[in-house]
Chains A and B, each alone.
Chain A
């Protein structure tokens, strides 16, 4: 019997650990508007999505560093990234980036995602583009 008890206890412990780390690893999505409103967390990773502002992409001449501006057509956030942008990263297109806000309010991206379709807009972006009208309803 005690073996089964041990098994159940082990399972419970594992489940607890899994759920706890699940909480810690959830990444929330925010739009430039959310960030302007101060909703985005400090010192914790999150996702940002928006359209890349035309003419905003600036590359460093010696490294892979690149900066660009994301917009939800109401607010803008500047993003910096050090790495290779995906194949379909283009100005005027929707993208999603994972990373965190630095103290200067610049979004430091660890990963930039774009989709293999020139008309693609991340659903998060599409939704947050619609929200300005209904944003006041949200708590």
Chain B
């Protein structure tokens, strides 16, 4: 019965979503205050109903209700309870339910914090969120209902995809969705600005925390996915330019551009057109990501949905929402959003160049992801774009991006002079080059210069952050007091930029200084791995809850001193007859030791992957710093009342 309650709640949520869209819009059209406020109430009810539906589905999983088709397909009586819980979003239907639940959650958050917004803007934002919710609820109920039953119920389920049976995967999709769906909020703000024909610095101040929040979630989600791939796939890789990875990477990149453009719109009142366009584009890419993952057009680890009607449905949603937004932009944009002016050499120019470069980076990823699909759809053949291309063009775009990032930090708002800039930059630039040369001296000779170039760029970012702090503190009476009173947005910006530098250094060093060894080993054999000696000690068989495993014991020593013991496993999941690799890893600040079993080769020998992954943890450490910076900048004490007052003076209506 519980499942039927969930089904009913889902249908009711659709009805509420339709009201959430229609009533506030009518309120705006007819100037009815009560109707406008109704949206906030509807948003909360929608969230409550979807939460009920979600909990009912979770109950079905926990209670082994295999009469529900979705449960039977993705669970098993031998599955531990926490994986049964994560199986709720382990496949298409449930993850879509999570998608709309999170959307309604964002809607509720907006409704709770919208007191400072003008009533009409708040009403339109809530209505746009309701419209997106309506579209996806129709999709969910029409093509992918998780509550459908089959009769008679099967005795046991088909089990959760073993690839997804990992703690990282319990939290990875919800975080990613928080990010994807969160970009619906700045999108809704952009639509509201276009409809009402006014976009003020206060608008940017409202939209910025929401954008940052979504971006922070997406950052953590992507980092977690990368970390999971490193741990769980057993290849020692951390990024594959897989289309689904790209799908989450594109809104992330454009989201950065949006955040920076919002800063200019808030502080200087310019780039309004560009900001609105970026807000639309970022959410469009989020929807595109949903389409790519959900339509089955991709052949990747993630492609668990392969139903063309679903793809067409999502594509229709994508076309309608994004197409509609762009039409609105073409109609209202230029008149609604006149901007301020700035000199060619100014911080605005560097920020503009950077958002453009980020857009180019996003476009190249988009090209590499969609072009093969397009060629295939047109029947012109089957092609794929390899990782080497992505790596090359990314280096090509990121290098100028990082150079202008640094220059932008040095430059002043509105107007600056080249001479002053050069004088400012010179000392820091020389310092960065000298440190990079010192680092190059101790690196492995063959790849020394490639690694050093990456490290130099990272140091350049560090130098620009240091100069930013210095410029605020130097020549002040009480530097410590100034330091403590730095605005949160500035502290967040510094931490995020430093995080970018850490990730960049990690990428440069991991990809050049690591040691990869694929070899054949039998128990008793040993092999040299860099400065270490690795001995394959023994192999044993063991039974897990729902798998059988071969577990190897490796002993690692250096100069005759035993240091570590690793026990990588090769697991076999009986229900789906699938093998999985559990790598053995010794984590470290400067390097990871990574051993994964390949396959049995007969006579007790195995193929084995052994890696020393230099500075690989820096990738995720940097990502966490970026997310932390975003979080700090987001929580800046609200100045909206002051900004609002200023706003009213500058833009009287």
Q: Are A116 and B397 in contact (CB under 8 A)?
A: no
In the bound assembly, the distance between CA atoms of A64 and B609 in angstroms comes to 11
For the complex, what is the distance from the CA of A117 to the CA of B299, rounded to whole Å?
12
Provide the main secondary structure of the chain B interface: mixed
B356 lies within 8 A of A11 (CB): yes
Q: Are B393 and A26 in contact (CB under 8 A)?
A: no
Instruction: Kindly state whether residue B560 has any CB partner on chain A within 8 Å.
Output: no
Taken residue by residue from 602 to 620, chain B's Cβ proximity to chain A (1 for < 8 Å, 0 otherwise) reads as 1100011100000000000
Contact A64 B381 (CB under 8 A): no
List A contacts of B581 (CB < 8 A): 87
Q: In the complex, what distance in Å separates the CA atom of A114 from the CA atom of B228?
A: 19
List which A108-134 residues lie within 8 A (CB) of chain B: 115-118, 122-124, 127
Q: Determine whether A62 belongs to the interface, using a CB cutoff of 8 Å to chain B.
A: yes
Contact with A along B344-387 (1 / 0, CB 8 A): 11000100010010001000100110010000000001111110
Q: How far is the CB of A42 from chain B (nearest CB, A)?
A: 18
B353 / chain A contacts, CB cutoff of 8 Å:
7
Which residue of the partner chain, among A21, A47, A59, A89, contacts B601 with CB atoms under 8 Å?
A: A59
The answer to the question of A88 belonging to the interface, with a C-beta cut-off of 8 Å to chain B, is: yes
Closest to B578 in A: A116
Cross-chain contact of B520 among A29, A64, A117 (Cβ < 8 A): A64
Majority DSSP secondary structure for residues of A touching B: mixed
CA distance A10 to B163 in the complex (A): 44
Q: Which residues of A contact B396 (CB under 8 A)?
A: 14, 17-18
- Tell yes or no: B392 within 8 A of A by CB: yes
Q: Does B599 sit at the interface, judged by CB under 8 A?
A: yes
The contact string, 1 if C-beta is below 8 Å from chain B, for chain A 1-23, is 10110010011001101100110
Structural contact, A84 and B609, CB atoms closer than 8 A:
yes
> Contacts of B602 on A, CB cut-off 8 Å?
59
Residue of B385, B518, B576 touching A27 (CB-CB under 8 A): B385
B304 to chain A, nearest CB (A): 9
Contacts of A24 in B (CB 8 A): 389
Residues in B neighbouring A47, C-beta threshold 8 A? 382, 384
B487 interface hit (Cβ, 8 Å): no
Q: How far apart sit A10 and B388, CA to CA, in the bound complex (Å)? A: 22
B607 adjacent to A4 (CB under 8 Å): no
**From B388, B397, B608, contact of A14 by CB (8 A):** B397
Distance between Cα atoms of A29 and B380 in the complex (Å): 11
A63 within 8 A of partner (CB): yes
Given A25-B385, A28-B381, A28-B383 in contact, is the A64-B349 Cβ separation under 8 Å?
no
Contact size range, B = 35 or more
User: B381 touches which one: A29, A98, A117 (CB < 8 A)?
Assistant: A29
- Nearest Cβ on chain A to B421's Cβ, whole angstroms: 13
Instruction: Please give the distance in Å from A103's CB to the nearest CB on chain B.
Output: 23
Bound-state Cα–Cα, A97 to B165, Å = 27
- Chain B residues lying within 8 Å of A26, measured Cβ to Cβ, are 383-385
A62 cross-chain contacts in B, Cβ below 8 A: 520
Q: Tell me the chain B residues, 543-600 only, with Cβ under 8 Å from chain A.
A: 570, 576-581, 598-599
Complex Cα–Cα for A98 and B392 (A)? 19
- B191-204: contact bitstring with A at CB < 8 Å (1 yes, 0 no)? 00000000000000
- Tell me if A85 counts as interface (CB < 8 A to partner B): yes
In the complex formed, the residue of A with least CB distance to B301 is: A116
- The reply to whether the CB of A105 lies closer than 8 angstroms to some CB of chain B is no
Q: Does B119 contact A (CB under 8 A)?
A: no
Residues of chain B having any CB pair with chain A under 8 Å? 161-163, 234, 299, 301, 344-345, 349, 353, 356, 360, 364, 367-368, 371, 381-386, 388-389, 392-393, 396-397, 400, 518-520, 570, 576-581, 598-599, 601-603, 607-609
15 A-B pairs whose Cβ atoms sit less than 8 Å apart in the complex: A11-B360, A22-B385, A25-B386, A25-B392, A29-B381, A64-B519, A64-B601, A84-B608, A84-B609, A87-B234, A87-B581, A88-B579, A116-B163, A116-B301, A118-B578
Known: A25-B389, A47-B382, A85-B599. 10 other contacts (CB 8 A): A10-B400, A14-B396, A22-B367, A25-B388, A29-B381, A64-B518, A64-B520, A87-B234, A116-B161, A123-B299
